[in-house]
Structure 1
Amino acid sequence: MWRGLASNMLTFLIVGLFLLVGFILWGQSQYTAQGPLEQAICLRVERGSNMGAVSRDLERQGAVSNGTIFRLGADYADKSALLKAGSYLVRPGVSMEQIVEQVTRGGASTCGTEIVYRVGVTRTEAQVRELDPANNQFVEVAAFDPAGEDIPAIYTEKRAEADTRYRIALAEGVTSWQVVEAVKAMDVLSGDVTDLPAEGMLAPDSYELVDGADRSALLARMQEVQTLRIAAAWESRQDGLPLNSPEEMLILASIIEKETGVSEERRQVASVFINRLNQGMKLQTDPTVIYGITQGQGILGRGLRQSELRRQTPWNTYVINGLPPTPIANPGMASLEAAVAPANTDYVFFVADGTGGHAFATTLEEHNRNVAKWREIEADRANN
């Protein structure tokens, strides 16, 4: 009898072992197989959370077929203790193994909330944006003046969340004063700004931030980027340009930046100023006159008066010869490149053409016709 009982127990043990092995193999295949998720989701892992809570959330959102296997797989891979807080974009069809790798690797959040401080030529705006996982596009949920009094509640709420990401984006053509004023108004930053960076030395770009970042360090970072861009542009300059230094190139680039917002015509605008410098003609560009009035502190907000075109300032290129003494804004890389690689033209005039671009001319007669057309466009707009 004992021999039969032992035989049966051994049989049960073997069957049980086979079942266990089969379950493990099945579990492994489930863990590494393509997941059931059909549409991307944003998985938020709170601080102090654990794999059990994450697995339940994933199961609820249809991202994993079995939360138990997800937890066991993470335990078996010795990754449960490596869970990182954050917001993670979980794409369709990803396996449990890939999700575990994603939430334990850490790094910057890949979805959730982003607050962007946009420093523009005419205004600074803070935008609260949420990523829509379905199309991987950010949707704006609030926009406001960060220096104003009307701060939306959602901004305060999102500022309190640890996984909110931050960026500051500088538009091409902003002045250093505008950037500093915007940086001062950003409550995500800390520290004081003691010196105004030199005009033209802050690189227009998008910069990732962390909560509590130092204002002076951020400005220094912008200056480092611009220094590298200036050096690269100067190194690639055409031969024979009437520019004697990187500083002169920067000044010309800033004028180009303020004269046109059409990327395709930057090199043509550059050619006008290069031709004028070569011929000893005054540059006669309105943005320099405006800078002489505002010193880059805000926008003029009106048209120039004839008396202002005649007023003696270091930047009034209707009065002075050659380039002004400093840049008049912070130019982007495209304007730097245009300054050292102007189009090969005979143009010495240009005027707005009513489409956002300019009409170029080689003779005064042709230019006067273009000006007359522009005056007609201005008159039509004023009457409509």
Structure 2
Amino acid sequence: MKKTYVVLLLAVVALIAALGGGFAFLSYQFLSSRPSDVAQDVVYEVSPGKGFNSIAAELEQKGLIRNALFFTAYARIRGDRSKVKVGEYLLRTNMVPSEVLNTITSGKSIARSFTVSEGLSIYEISELYQKEGFGTAEDFMRWVRDPQFIKSLLGESQISLEGYLFPETYMLTKYTDTKTLITNMVRRFLYVYNEVISQAEVQGWTRHQVVTLASIIEKETGAPEERPTISSVFHNRLAKRMRLQTDPTVIYGKADLSGKIEINITRADLTTPTRYNTYVIYGLPPGPIANPGKEALLAAVKPATSSYLFFVSQNDGTHIFSEDYAGHNKAVQRFQLDRKAREGKSWRDLQNRKQVPTVPKK
């Protein structure tokens, strides 16, 4: 009887050893297996509330792992079942299970670029934000005008965050919300502004006044070398208590009333009162009219030394500067009223020229 018991015990041990060895072999085979030898990219999304079992099943269905049960067991052993993060992930069909699990627990979602160019207004940025599929223009405008949010970012109350959304390329995931993007844009502005203001400071000017002037400079010229001279014109006019009389403020004043940017303006628009129209009001408007880049900010606090009070477009993106109205009138006659001076010219010509600093013409 005793002998029979020993034999049975040995048989059970052998069976367990065999099963264990088989399981170990299968586990090793799974962990080293690749669903395919072909590296095909697959975008896989972990949405909020999705459980690990569902994730494993979907990964198997999409050909990203061979066995959902083994993958679930592997994640449990590693303690990673609860570490999967919401996001969009780029996986490949030739990944081993450890690479798949590492990716979906990394939190490093697929990022797409969102580029904001210098001189865009909040109206234009919100439309671009919606057009590129990151969110709605309405949500964007709601946040840039939220009083408490503005104060939390700037430490002061303002009409909106116009002027404080630094133009740059930002990397966004599908789950980057509007508030987070705007926060990053303002933080980037604050960093750059501190760099700029350390180089020069306009006596008695507030940050808001600097940003307001910089936004006007940004809208008035696309020629980098002209910014300091454009700035000098505005500084000179302010010192003489002359109206700035700049068209971009008229355009923005209309947008402030209508809720959208309209590029074309009429003679009647120049004399129609708005809180931004510098043909009507004296001094700076109540806030920025666009979001300036670093060079425009720098030009606002470091204007060129000049006696210029006027400038007029030469129809190619650059301007001619004058010290008095008589000189300005001649420039208008030459470049604006003469149709031949306008033929075949465009501000887009700036994109094709070499950026060589020039001395402003008198």
Band of TM-score, shorter chain: 0.5 to 0.7
SS of the residue 1:251 aligns to: helix
* Aligned match of 1:277: 235
- Does the C-alpha gap of structure 1 residues 352 and 40 become closer, same or farther in structure 2, counting only changes over 3 Å? farther
- Does the C-alpha gap of structure 1 residues 222 and 104 become closer, same or farther in structure 2, counting only changes over 3 Å? closer
Q: How does 1:19-30 map to 2 (within 5 A)?
A: 19-30=22-33
In 2, distance between residues paired with 1:304 and 1:100? 61
Amino acid at match of 1:74: A
Of 250, 262, 265 in structure 2, the residue corresponding to residue 303 of structure 1 is 265
- Percent of counterpart pairs with the same letter? 20
Amino acid at match of 2:63: G
Per-residue CA distance 1:47-69 (angstroms, 9 max, x = gap)? 55444432332223222234343
Of 322, 338, 341 in structure 1, the residue corresponding to residue 299 of structure 2 is 338
In 2, distance between residues paired with 1:354 and 1:74? 65
TM-score by length of 1: 0.56
In 2, distance between residues paired with 1:346 and 1:247? 25
Of 235, 238, 245 in structure 1, the residue corresponding to residue 198 of structure 2 is 235
- Does the C-alpha gap of structure 1 residues 78 and 35 become closer, same or farther in structure 2, counting only changes over 3 Å? farther
- Does the C-alpha gap of structure 1 residues 65 and 324 become closer, same or farther in structure 2, counting only changes over 3 Å? same
Tell me how far 1:236 sits from its aligned partner. Answer: 2.6
Amino acid at match of 2:45: R
In 1, distance between residues paired with 2:336 and 2:266? 18
TM-score by length of 2: 0.59
In 1, distance between residues paired with 2:77 and 2:125? 57
- Does the C-alpha gap of structure 1 residues 350 and 46 become closer, same or farther in structure 2, counting only changes over 3 Å? same
Per-residue CA distance 1:344-381 (angstroms, 9 max, x = gap)? 889765444445x2244467488457614874466789
RCO comparison, higher one (Cα < 8 Å, 6+): 2
In 1, distance between residues paired with 2:125 and 2:15? 80
Contact kept in structure 2, 1:254 and 1:327, CA below 8 Å: no
In 2, distance between residues paired with 1:3 and 1:52? 43
- Does the C-alpha gap of structure 1 residues 37 and 270 become closer, same or farther in structure 2, counting only changes over 3 Å? farther
SS of the residue 1:80 aligns to: coil
* Aligned match of 1:77: 78
Amino acid at match of 1:371: F
Q: How does 1:1-384 map to 2 (within 5 A)?
A: 9=11, 18-30=21-33, 36=37, 38-45=39-46, 49-84=50-85, 86-91=87-92, 93-104=94-105, 107=107, 110=110, 119-121=122-124, 124=127, 127=130, 168=140, 179=141, 197-198=158-159, 203-205=164-166, 229-237=192-200, 244-260=205-221, 262=222, 265-275=223-233, 277-278=235-236, 282=242, 283-289=244-250, 294=254, 296-298=256-258, 299=261, 302-305=264-267, 323-324=283-284, 326-334=286-294, 335-341=296-302, 350-355=311-316, 357-361=317-321, 364=327, 367-368=331-332, 371-372=335-336, 375-376=339-340
Tell me how far 1:121 sits from its aligned partner. Answer: 4.1
CA-based RMSD of the aligned residues comes to: 5.5
- Does the C-alpha gap of structure 1 residues 87 and 374 become closer, same or farther in structure 2, counting only changes over 3 Å? farther
Amino acid at match of 1:271: T
Tell me how far 1:22 sits from its aligned partner. Answer: 3.6
Contact kept in structure 1, 2:126 and 2:137, CA below 8 Å: no
SS of the residue 1:88 aligns to: strand
In 1, distance between residues paired with 2:279 and 2:92? 59
Tell me how far 1:70 sits from its aligned partner. Answer: 1.9
Amino acid at match of 1:59: E
Contact kept in structure 2, 1:43 and 1:87, CA below 8 Å: yes
Amino acid at match of 1:340: V
The structure where helix makes up a greater share of residues is 2
- Does the C-alpha gap of structure 1 residues 128 and 358 become closer, same or farther in structure 2, counting only changes over 3 Å? closer
In 2, distance between residues paired with 1:26 and 1:220? 48
SS of the residue 2:165 aligns to: coil
SS of the residue 2:43 aligns to: strand
Tell me how far 1:253 sits from its aligned partner. Answer: 0.6
Contact kept in structure 2, 1:42 and 1:89, CA below 8 Å: yes
Per-residue CA distance 1:259-294 (angstroms, 9 max, x = gap)? 24x3xx245133223156358675442234555x64
Tell me how far 1:336 sits from its aligned partner. Answer: 1.7
Structure 2 gaps, min length 5: 115-120, 147-155, 346-362
